[in-house]
Amino acid sequence: MGRYLVYRLLSAIPVLLIVSLLSFLIIFLVPGDPASEIAGPGASADEVSRIRQSLGLDQHVGIRMLAWYQRLLQGDLGQSILLNRGVTTAILERAPVTLSLAGLALVLSLGLALVLGVVAAVRQNTWVDQSAMTMALLGLSLPDFWVGLVMIYLFAVLLGWFPTGGYVEMSKGVGPWLRSLIMPATALGLAQLGLLARITRATMLEVLRQDYVRTARAKGAPERHVIGRHALANTLIPVVTVIGIIVGILLGGAVVVESVFALPGVGRLIIGAILRRDYPVIQGGLLLTASIYVFVNILVDILYAWLDPRVRYE
């Protein structure tokens, strides 16, 4: 286990290097001079050169890259052009919103997906199976931002059950916090629901054919024990591995869902930065989301190796 852990951690280094390099390079994609792009068409030459200096664009690329890595090693992502504060601070201020949203979406979709997947597998090829899998497929096919809008119209505008948007901090009560997040988390969780339900079903079907399930039945264990204990535990292992991929989709989806529901999270921060060309925030935000993805996947791999010892020895 120790060797596997070290190997897995070391293998993240080249990926992180590439990720940080790509995040740095994105500014070069802007056609023309980034400084005058950021300043806008009406800006004076003075202002343009001020921005150019603050971005360090007057320096050689190599020097800028060195500075970027030097700052990264100190955990500093640079200064935002528009927000008048450090990128790290800006992201940390908004992190609780995104974490709450993504966490709730994951809990909701995983819970429902396990139920749908298990029920569909146990009742394979019946109407139960078919309707569960239709739901899963719909989850994969509906655009999340549109589902968000439809929910806002139905449950906020027409029925008035939930607020149309905005975020209430958890410190102001768990109830209001949940109320502000339940619609966005549902919209965000839809695609994950589809993916997870299908994987749960496929794995469960495979597990149900294993010898140990037959043994459990043969020794007279009640069916709910066979499914709930023997089969489900073994189904969860492959499902865990997908959570790494799911986190990537959640982070990307949060960007869009946060802007639909006017949630002040990291996603909306990055979108705002992209639309107004606040490059330090874009670079920092991209680097951070990608690093989270890399680390979650390492965690998932380690968890997988711990749950299923066969993986370690391959």
* C-alpha pair distances (Å), 127 with each of 82, 190, 232: 55, 21, 22
One-letter amino acid identity for 76? D
Q: Residues, the chain, total? A: 314
**Site for other proteins, residues 221 to 250, rule: CB under 8 A:** 248-249
How many other C-beta atoms lie within 10 A of the C-beta of residue 205? 17
Of 42-50, 87-95, 142-150, 211-219: span binding other proteins (CB under 8 A): 142-150
| Residue 6 binds other proteins (CB under 8 A) | no
| Residue 87 binds other proteins (CB under 8 A) | no
Query: In the beta sheet, which residues pair with residue 79?
Result: 86
Tokens of 76: 């500093």
Among 205, 221, 299, 311, which residue interacts with other proteins (rule: CB under 8 A)? 205
| Residue 30 binds other proteins (CB under 8 A) | yes
Whether the CB-CB separation of 285 and 278 falls below 8 Å is answered with no
Among 96, 165, 252, 264, which residue interacts with other proteins (rule: CB under 8 A)? 252
| Residue 19 binds other proteins (CB under 8 A) | yes
Q: Number of residues in contact with other proteins, rule: CB under 8 A?
A: 54
Among 6, 18, 63, 66, which residue interacts with other proteins (rule: CB under 8 A)? 18
Among 66, 138, 174, 262, which residue interacts with other proteins (rule: CB under 8 A)? 138
Whether the CB-CB separation of 279 and 212 falls below 8 Å is answered with no
Give the Cα separation of 207 and 305 in Å (integer). Answer: 19
| Residue 290 binds other proteins (CB under 8 A) | yes
Among 78, 184, 189, 253, which residue interacts with other proteins (rule: CB under 8 A)? 253
In our burial notation (b when 16+ CB lie closer than 10 A, e otherwise), range 108-131 reads bbbebbbebbbbbbbeeeeeebee
In our burial notation (b when 16+ CB lie closer than 10 A, e otherwise), range 285-297 reads bbbbbbbebbebb
* Nearest approach, Cβ of residue 134 and other proteins (Å): 10
Give the Cα separation of 147 and 166 in Å (integer). Answer: 17
| Residue 262 binds other proteins (CB under 8 A) | no
Our CB check for other proteins shows the closer of 22 and 66 to be: 22
* Nearest approach, Cβ of residue 20 and other proteins (Å): 9
**Owner of token pair 């597998």:** 121
- Residues that bind other proteins in the complex, under the rule CB under 8 A: 14-15, 17-19, 21-22, 26-27, 29-31, 124-125, 137-138, 140-143, 145-147, 149-150, 152-153, 157, 198, 201-202, 205-206, 248-249, 251-253, 255-256, 259-260, 270-271, 274-275, 277, 282, 286, 289-291, 293-294
